[in-house]
Structure formats: C-alpha cells, structure tokens
Structure 1
Amino acid sequence: MTTARDVLRELEALGSEQTRKTWRRHEVPEPMFGVKYGDLGKLQKRLGRDQALAEALWQSGNHDARVLAAMIAEPAAFDVAMLRRWQAETTCYVQTDALITHVGARMAAAATAVVPWLDATTESQRRAGWVLVAHLARESNDLADSFFADLLPRIEREIHGAPNRTREAMNGTLIAIGTRSDALARLATAAARTIGPVEIDHGDTDCKTFDAVAYIAKGREHRAKQEAKAKPKPAAKPRKRDAQ
C-alpha cells in the first residue's frame, strides 16, 4: 500500500531547484520540492484515483503534493462544501487551477459552485469561479448556451477592475465561452471588442496575454473541425452490383 510518506519521498527525489525557480516566478510559496508536471503526470497514472491518499497529500501543505492530490482525488467524493473548503486552503493560483481542473470540473454539481465564487471578494475564490466556468464551457454538454451567454455582460463590466489573477482567468473564460458554439462566438467576440486590451501582470515569466478576439476565432475553428470529425459518417451507398 502506497502511503503519503512514500509519495512525499518520491516527490522530493523528483524535485529540482530549476523547477522551484520556475514555480516561484508563478507566485508559488514554500514548501515545495519543484516537481515537473510531466513527472506528476506519471505519478498520477501509476497511482490512479485514491481519495484517502489525496487527502493525506493535501494536508501535507506541500505544493507539489497538493497538485498531485488534486490529480488523484476522486471527484465523486466531493460535495460543493468540501470543494470550497479545499479551495480556501490553497496558497496560490496554481493549486486552485489544479483543484478546479481535476476535481471541480468533474463534479456532477459543478455548476452550483460557480455563482458563490464569482460573488466572492477574494482574488483566489473569484479566479476559481471563472476557471470553473471556462472548463464547463469547454467540456459540459449538460448546460445550455444561455448559462454562458448570461455571464458575458458580467465579464465586460468587471474584467478591468478585477484583481490580476482573476482578470487573467476572466480573459481565458471569455475565450472558452466563445469557442463553445457559433452563437456564443459572435456574442463573446462582440464582448471582447467592447472590452478592448486586457492588462495582466504575468510577473517574471514568458507568459503572454491572449488576444480574445483572435483566440476565439482560432478556438472556434479548431472545435468545429473536432465536432465535424466526431459526427458519424453517412452509410456508404451500395454499389449497383451489390444492390442487385
């Protein structure tokens, strides 16, 4: 049986100062080992879903352990209250994003967690809400387009005054909404043009701010191609010889 202590020792061995430097540029605080995402992905694949181990790793407080915890946690074990509790314990936006990506977006009750976070006052909670909306826009087939269309005026109204990392998430969410359907692409592109350039401080990193109008167009084109490939092909017409 793999224990949290075993995994922490393995994470420590995988860590490097170079990766720690990278994480520090992304506002990640200590404690951390500095493990690359590729190595975390290999551990995730080996460990599978393990809620008990995930909870133990999360409680360690170590950054790499928390990201891995989100990756191996069982979404079905969470309700909205538990998800909100874990998010409140995050110490940086990287942990919040991992939690939303691997747990929040895969919960059956994901949509019910959105509004309380969007109405929150803290940067971290508001970012969690918008990151969750972005995932739902890309991945959920259960929500009507109107759910996302109703949020576009709010993005227009609030994005420039939002905290930096929330602003970054809102810009990404605007793009995600725009790539969902042709109708949303038109609405989101109009919103992006009204908003204009979005200023985001990426710190000492190579990250760039995505131009929403351009990325909506690219994303919609890519998604349309994927949707076309996914459609079942019509049955081939029988040849005359076969029909006889």
Structure 2
Amino acid sequence: MNLEMVMQELEALGKERSKKMYMSNGAHEPLFGVATGAMKPIVKKIKINQPLAEELYATGNYDAMYFAGIIADPKAMTESDYDRWMDAAYFYMISDFVVAITLSESDIAQEVADKWIASDEELRISAGWSCYCWLLGNRKDVEFSESKIFNMLDMVKNMIHHSPERAKSSMNNFVYTVGISYLPLHEKAVETAKAIGIVEVKRDEKKSSFLNAYETILKGVDQGRIGFKRKHVRC
C-alpha cells in the first residue's frame, strides 16, 4: 500500500463523533476521526514500513500521524528522527501517544527521554516522562537503574506543582507507574505520591483535572496489579 491508498482507507473509516472528541482534546484539521481499533486491519496488511510511516507523519493529518506511529520501525529511527517527530507533535495525543510510545520501543529510549525531560518545552517534557511510563510498564525491572528512578521520583516531588500543565499529568502518571510496575521502588513511589498529594491540571476552556497518584496506586494494590507489565506497548 502507498500513501494515497492508506489515506483513502483512513478517510473512509473516519467518524464525526471521534473527530469531535479528538478536536476537543487539541487536534485540529486535517483529520478524519478514525477510532484506533479501526486501524488494525490496515496495520495487518502493512505491518512495519518506516518509509511509509515517514510519509504519513509528514501529512500533518492527526489520524495519519497516529497510524505512522503504529507502523514505524522504532529501532530504525535515530535521535534526530525522534526530535523531528516531536517538532511536528502539536498536542499531547501526538507527543505522548505516538512519539513517546514509538520511542519506548527503541534502544535509545532512555537517552532521548532524559534529554526531553531536561528541556524547557512542555510537550517534550511530557513526552519524556510518558516514555518512561511506557518503558516501566513493559520492560523488565532489571533494565532500569534503581538509583536513577529513585532520583526521578524526587524530581517529580520537587517540581510537579510548578511544571507546565501537560507535564504535570505525565509526571503524575510516572509516579503511579513506578508504584504499580517497578517493584524495587513500590514503597518509595507510595511515599512520593502521598507527599505530592492532589495535583491540579488546568485545561483550556475545560474544567481542571485533579490527579491523585496515591489513591490510584492503592486501587492498583487492591486489584492485584502490582508488578503489572504490558506484553506490547503499541497496538
């Protein structure tokens, strides 16, 4: 399948309801409003195709950009490729659920995510923390430096209430993810979440969201989710 064929199939799958939902979260034209599950039959036909992924991502169409993340070859992408994708990620559903997820399946994930976390750009910071969430929720605990994750929890505790709005959400998710999916620092994550308390995330033209990682971790404990790891990160 080529670019034109994929775009035609995506357009045919578009739904006005999904389009409105995506736009209410920050997406803008061009987009079709394709439910992510509806993309699976096309993914099966294409599988992994990095050149096509690049063409789709470059369209600026939200659905095409999302689909690009599913068929991309994460290990074929360089740091500059990921930075280029982040430059075009204009809202969090692309930065955190397309770029960060794709990065999490690469060999340079932590290295790139660390740089994004240290940047001064809201979506890069958010994507960096989100990437760690995808990593911790999928890879074995031994693949991480315990002292590094420990220090990152302290960083969140000290900075979360003063961070950009989208970054607050990803940092809160990081604390929750460590508490659920990274056994060596479960107790530290619980202490950190308790110290942080409720995090208010302000949103344009919408009511604020109030996040509580401590309660979310406790719910996970009650549900027997401690130690949970996903088999796959991408669709």
Task: Please classify the TM superposition score into its range, dividing by the shorter chain length.
Answer: 0.7 to 0.9
Residue type matched to 2:145 in 1? A
Check conservation: 1:28, 1:92, Cα contact below 8 A: yes
Query: Where does residue 99 of structure 1 map in the other structure?
Result: 98
CA distance in 2: counterparts of 1:102 and 1:133, whole angstroms? 9
CA contact (8 A) 2:43 2:70 kept: yes
Please give the TM-score of this superposition, normalised by the length of structure 2.
0.88
Taking a change above 3 Å as real, the CA distance of residues 41 and 204 of structure 1, as seen in their structure-2 partners, is: farther
Q: 105-114 vs 200-209, which deviates more?
A: 200-209
Q: Give the equivalent residue in structure 2 for 1:16.
A: 15
Deviation, 1:182, is 4.0
Gaps of at least 5 residues in structure 2 are 230-235
* 1:117 alignment counterpart: 116
Q: Is the counterpart of residue 126 in structure 1 residue 125 in structure 2?
A: yes
CA deviation vs aligned residue, 1:168-192 (integer Å, no higher than 9, x gap): 1111111011113444121111111
Mapped contact 1:123–1:166 kept (Cα < 8 A): yes
Which stretches in structure 1 are left out of the alignment for 5+ residues? 228-244
Q: CA RMSD in A?
A: 2.1
Whether the aligned pair in 2 keeps the contact of 1:32 and 1:63 (CA below 8 Å) is: yes
Partner of 2:200: 199
Give the AA of the match of 1:62: N
Q: Deviations over 1:12-63 (max 9, x none)?
A: 1111221111001111111111111111233223321111110110111111
- How many pairs were matched up? 225
* Aligned residue in 1 for 2:233: none
The separation in 2 between residues aligned to 1:182 and 1:5, in whole angstroms, is: 46
- Higher mean Cα deviation, 176-185 or 108-117? 176-185
Residue 87 of structure 1 contacts residue 99 of structure 1 at CA under 8 Å; is this kept in 2? Answer: no
Q: Deviations over 1:42-85 (max 9, x none)?
A: 32233211111101101111110000001100112112221111
* Superposed CA offset, 1:77-117 (max 9, x none): 11222111111111111111233354100001111012211
The match for 1:222 among 222, 225, 234 is 225
**One-letter code of the match for 2:226?**
R
Contact kept, 8 Å, 2:10 with 2:63, in 1: the verdict is yes
Indicate conservation of the 8 Å contact 2:136/2:182, yes or no.
Answer: no
- Cα distance in 1 for partners of 2:107, 2:47 equals 20
Q: In structure 2, what is the equivalent of residue 81 of structure 1? A: 80
Farther-moved stretch of structure 1 (149-158 vs 132-141): 132-141
Which residue matches 1:231?
none
| Residue pairs, 1:160-199, within 5 angstroms | 160-199=161-200
- Cα distance in 2, alignment partners of residues 29 and 140 from structure 1: 34
Q: CA deviation at 1:161?
A: 1.1
Matching residue of 2:151: 150
The 2-side partners of 1:69 and 1:200 are apart by: 29
* C-alpha spacing 1:135/1:85, structure 2 compared with 1 (3 Å): same
Q: After alignment, is 165-174 or 176-185 more displaced?
A: 176-185
* 2: CA distance, partners of 1:38 / 1:207: 29
Q: TM-score, normalising length from structure 1? A: 0.85
Assess if the C-alpha contact under 8 Å between 2:200 and 2:208 holds in 1.
no
Where is the strand percentage greater, Structure 1 or Structure 2?
Answer: 2
Once the two structures are TM-superposed, the CA of residue 205 in structure 1 deviates from its matched residue by 7.7
CA–CA distance in 2 between the matches of 1:134 and 1:82?
A: 21
Shift of 1:204: 7.1
For residues 124 and 173 of structure 2, the distance between their equivalents in structure 1, rounded to whole angstroms, comes to: 16
